[in-house]
Amino acid sequence: AETHYHEFIVQPKPVKRLCKVHNIITVNGKFPGPTLSVRNGDSLVIKVVNVARYNVSLHWHGIRQLRNPWADGPEFVTQCSIKPGGSYTYRFTIQDQEGTLWWHAHSRWLRATVYGALIIYPKLPSSYPFLMPKREASVLLGEWFDRDPISVLRQALFTGAAPNVSDAYTINGQPGDFYRCSGKETVRFAVDSGETILLRIINSALNQELFFSVANHQLTVVAVDASYTKPFTTNVIMIGPGQTTDVLLTANQQPAHYYMAATAYNTALNAAFDNTTTTAILEYKNCQQHQQQPPRPTMAQLPNFNDTPTATRFTSQLRSPNRVNVPTQIDNSLLFTVGLGLINCTNPNSPRCQGPNGTRFAASINNVSFVFPKSNSIMQAFYQGVPGVFTTDFPPVPPLQFDYTGNVSRGLWQPGRGTKGYRLKYGSNVQIVLQDTSIVTTEDHPMHLHGYHFYVVGSGFGNFNPATDPARFNLIDPPVRNTIGTPPGGWVAIRFVADNPGAWLMHCHIDSHLAWGLAMVFLVENGEGELQSVLPPPPDLPPC
Alpha carbon 6 to chain centroid, angstroms:
23
CB of 201 to ligand C2O, least distance (A): 15
**C-alpha to C-alpha distance for 73 and 237, rounded to whole angstroms:** 29
| Residue type (1 letter), 441 | T
CB of 433 to ligand C2O, least distance (A): 21
CB of 74 to ligand C2O, least distance (A): 5
Question: Per CB under 6 A, does 61 bind ligand C2O?
Answer: yes
> Residues near 164 by Cβ (< 8 Å), separated by ≥ 6?
208, 264, 266, 269, 273, 276
Closer of 242 and 490 to ligand C2O (Cβ): 242
| Residue 347, Cβ density class (10 Å: 0-12 exposed, 13-18 middle, ≥19 buried) | exposed
Closer of 236 and 378 to ligand C2O (Cβ): 378
Q: How is residue 256 annotated by DSSP?
A: S
CB 187 within 8 A of CB 174: yes
Question: Per CB under 6 A, does 505 bind ligand C2O?
Answer: yes
Closer of 448 and 513 to ligand C2O (Cβ): 448
Question: Per CB under 6 A, does 32 bind ligand C2O?
Answer: no
Closer of 22 and 106 to ligand C2O (Cβ): 106
| Residue type (1 letter), 438 | S
CB of 203 to ligand C2O, least distance (A): 10
Judged by CB under 6 A, which stretch of 219-227, 298-306, 313-321, 503-511 contacts ligand C2O? 503-511
Q: In Å, how far are 90, 366, 391, 511 from 370, measured between CA atoms?
A: 26, 10, 11, 13
Closer of 336 and 473 to ligand C2O (Cβ): 336
Q: Please report, as residue ranges, which positions from 104 to 123 form the binding site for ligand C2O (by CB under 6 A).
A: 104, 106
Closest residue to bound ligand C2O by CB: 61
CB 410 within 8 A of CB 342: yes
Closer of 440 and 449 to ligand C2O (Cβ): 449
CB of 502 to ligand C2O, least distance (A): 14
Buried b (16+ CB within 10 A) or exposed e, 209-236: bbbbbbbbbebbbbbbbbbbbeeeebbb
> Residues near 358 by Cβ (< 8 Å), separated by ≥ 6?
344, 345, 348, 349
Q: Please report, as residue ranges, which positions from 172 to 211 form the binding site for ligand C2O (by CB under 6 A).
A: none
Please provide the DSSP assignment of 64-109 as one string: --TT-GGGT--BTTTBPPBPTT-EEEEEEE--S--EEEEEEE-STT
Closer of 74 and 479 to ligand C2O (Cβ): 74
Judged by CB under 6 A, which stretch of 45-53, 206-214, 505-513, 536-544 contacts ligand C2O? 505-513
**C-alpha to C-alpha distance for 509 and 173, rounded to whole angstroms:** 19
Interface with ligand C2O (CB under 6 A), residue total: 11
Sign of the CA dihedral running 125, 130, 136, 137: negative
> According to CB under 6 A, which one of 17, 59, 495, 513 is a site residue for ligand C2O?
59
**C-alpha to C-alpha distance for 248 and 117, rounded to whole angstroms:** 18
CB of 305 to ligand C2O, least distance (A): 23
Closer of 424 and 505 to ligand C2O (Cβ): 505
CB of 241 to ligand C2O, least distance (A): 8
Closer of 17 and 59 to ligand C2O (Cβ): 59
Give ∠ CA 304-307-310 in degrees, rounded to 5: 115
> Residues near 184 by Cβ (< 8 Å), separated by ≥ 6?
none
Helix (H) or strand (E) holding 149, with range, is helix 149-159
> According to CB under 6 A, which one of 242, 303, 479, 502 is a site residue for ligand C2O?
242
> According to CB under 6 A, which one of 450, 453, 495, 513 is a site residue for ligand C2O?
450
CB of 539 to ligand C2O, least distance (A): 25
Closer of 208 and 354 to ligand C2O (Cβ): 208
> According to CB under 6 A, which one of 108, 217, 448, 453 is a site residue for ligand C2O?
448
Closer of 219 and 449 to ligand C2O (Cβ): 449
CB 81 within 8 A of CB 541: no
Question: Per CB under 6 A, does 64 bind ligand C2O?
Answer: no
- Report the chain's C-alpha Rg in angstroms: 22
Q: Please report, as residue ranges, which positions from 69 to 88 form the binding site for ligand C2O (by CB under 6 A).
A: 74
Closer of 429 and 482 to ligand C2O (Cβ): 482
Residue 238: CB atoms within 10 A of its CB come to 24
Judged by CB under 6 A, which stretch of 22-30, 46-54, 413-421, 501-509 contacts ligand C2O? 501-509
CB of 493 to ligand C2O, least distance (A): 21
Contacting residues toward ligand C2O, per CB under 6 A? 59, 61, 74, 104, 106, 242, 448, 450, 505, 507, 509
